[in-house]
Amino acid sequence: MYRQNKYGRRPKTGYTYGMKTKLDFDVLIVGGGLVGLTAALACAQAGFKIGVIDIAKPSDHLADNHDGRASAIATASFRMMRALGVADALEENGDTHAGPINKILVSDGQTGQPPSPLNLFFDSAQIAETNDGEPLGYMVENRRMRHALHTQTKAQKNITWIAPARVKSFLASKAKTTISFADGKILSASLLIAADGRNSFIRKLAGIGVTTWPCQQKAIVTTVEHELPHGGIAHELFLPAGPFAILPLTGNRASIVWTETPRAADAAMALDDEQFAAELSRRYGGFLGKVWPIAPRWCYPFSFQHAKTYIGERLIIIGDAAHAIHPIAGQGFNMGLRDAAALADILVRARSEGRDLGADINLALFEHWRKFDNTALTHACDVFNRLFSNNIGPLKHTRRIGLSVVDKLPPLRKFFMKEASGQIGDLPPLLRGESYGNAA
């Protein structure tokens, strides 16, 4: 049995580099990325004492060259960000840094040729009653989101950063989970959360296996500026090698996710700036005027991965540690945010009913709530990517007709828009925009 902190002290506030004394927490979260910090804020707002453990210093995550991607945040997910104060922290000098996605145009085509006229068009105005007049979602650069999350985390009295720190092992007992670190220090909590990414060390320590399958695709990511306004329209153009996505940021800017075969992606990355800009313009087709990159380019390989279980003894895994998908529908980050919202709700209910936070029933509730949703979305994205990332004549003709049919069926089109904006299913309070208000 592991002893409680004999002094009964609450953790220190703010950022803690290194550990000089043993601290006890309600929840320890391993992973200081986007999902881990969102989970920390959600649980801390509800009054739980949280420790965030990360192998790197927080400042390492804040460098502009850390991650060049941007994330599509569904309407429900952005309501959660408002409730956590993250949306306010995003604002800077009058810029919200959240570009509204008012419309989405899904089309099929060939590189250098106009897209097929048989397409699918989503307009947020068509589900205004469900979305309370909000857009389908928002585009936010990951670097901006990281800064906002760190700002809120640092200001939250219930959160302590333990970083840099390397976890060596953990052991669950009847009373708590104890984390041992490489430097010999020990921390304990009622519950351990693994939010340490697709190569999760905690998941591996727990012996939880994964099912994984490759996509044989890579994505080139960059930010561009263009002459004409995008009007908040996201474009998903399916080309034979994979989708070419133009995602609206604030101003006359867009985040580009250009999917190719690994060999073609590597060749595109090797182009000089002028050649690369020319290739981008060829795919754009000129409808936004002149286009030019304004950020470095990054390249990421794609694969699907799904944990065989989301739980262990006093352990829950969330985000990419539990599920990593193709960004074809922009749902990867949203899946992690829904994990965080569900986690906070389950812990709040457990406390109100007098249950141990690490009790088996809480873990089972989380897995039942989140695994079906995540499994369905993972496989739907895989099927959708396989269906569109090819140049097979009959299949190409069939999928174009399919897009056109869905476009002409308003009830079905509205269903897909509600799903994309996160409005379907059993939504926990945070996804409805309800704050826990730092409940005691």
DSSP state, residue 95: B
Query: If one looks up domain 14-63+144-211+303-390 in CATH, what number appears?
Result: 3.50.50.60
Domain boundaries, the chain: 14-63+144-211+303-390
**Distance between CA atoms of 195 and 202, rounded to whole angstroms?**
9
Place of tokens 């003709």: 397
Q: Find residue 50's DSSP bridge partners.
A: 27, 159
Closest listed residue to residue 339, CA positions, set 382, 303, 377 = 377
- Tens-digit pLDDT string for the chain (440 aa): 333 333 233 333 334 434 433 448 999 999 999 999 999 999 999 999 999 999 998 888 787 777 889 999 999 999 999 999 999 999 988 889 999 999 999 888 776 666 767 778 889 988 888 778 899 999 999 999 999 999 999 999 999 999 999 999 999 999 999 999 999 999 999 999 999 999 999 999 999 999 998 888 899 999 999 999 999 999 988 888 888 999 999 999 999 999 999 999 999 999 999 999 999 888 888 889 999 999 999 999 988 899 999 999 999 999 999 999 877 767 889 999 999 999 999 999 999 999 999 999 999 999 999 999 899 888 777 776 776 666 666 666 676 677 776 777 777 778 777 877 888 778 999 999 999 875 44
For 37, 294, 305, the CA distances from 244, given in Å and listed in that order, are: 30, 18, 22
Q: Find residue 214's DSSP bridge partners.
A: 303
> Angle at Cα 315 formed by Cα 309 and Cα 317, nearest 5°?
55
Q: Find residue 253's DSSP bridge partners.
A: 225
Concatenate the DSSP letters of all residues of 5-44 into one string: -TT-PPPPPEEE-S-SS--EEEEEEE--SHHHHHHHHHHH
What's the one-letter identity of residue 279? E
- pTM over 0.85? The answer is yes
The answer to whether the CB of 156 falls within 8 A of the CB of 146 is: no
Closest listed residue to residue 334, CA positions, set 137, 45, 132 = 137
Q: Where are the alpha helices (DSSP H) in 353-434?
A: 360-388, 393-407, 410-420
Q: Which residues contact 284 (CB under 8 A, 6 or more apart)?
A: 226, 246, 291
241 SS3 class: coil
